[in-house]
Amino acid sequence: MKVPNIKLEDGHEVPQIGLGLWLVKDRAEFDTSFNAGVEAGYRHFDSAQAYDNEPFLGEDLKKSGLKREEVFITTKIKIENFGYDQAAQSIDESLAKLQTDHLDLLLLHFPLAGSLKETWRAAEDAKVVDLTE
């Protein structure tokens, strides 16, 4: 089954349903969840720096044989990484762990405190895909 997409105003698409990876920290459990998700048609994977499983997702995506343009990757900057320099460094680390050159969606995890403006600016500066094309 293919999960339907939602078309955004800029023409990009987001799969309507994503596989949330919260609390999946055991490698075997992660692999089982990921493989079942792919088999079920999931192409949107929702991770976060705080979940400590971005490397699992990066490795499993590579092993899956799915092309990068076939998947939608979301991750989140954890509160401890708020602030410009910390956020910028953590985004680079997430990209390396996820084994990708770009993220499809980057969120601020629990943006209730911290240097929100500076963290947001780091996220904007990290944008490598021009959504206006």
Distance CA 102, CA 5 (A): 19
Number of DSSP helices (H) and strands (E) in the chain, helices first:
4, 6
What is the rounded CA–CA span in Å between residue 77 and residue 81? 6
Question: What DSSP designation does 8 have?
Answer: -
State yes or no: is 42 an active-site residue.
Answer: no
3-state DSSP call for residue 45?
Answer: strand
Q: Which of 51, 56, 72, 82 is catalytic?
A: 51
AA identity, residue 63 = K
Catalytic machinery residues: 51
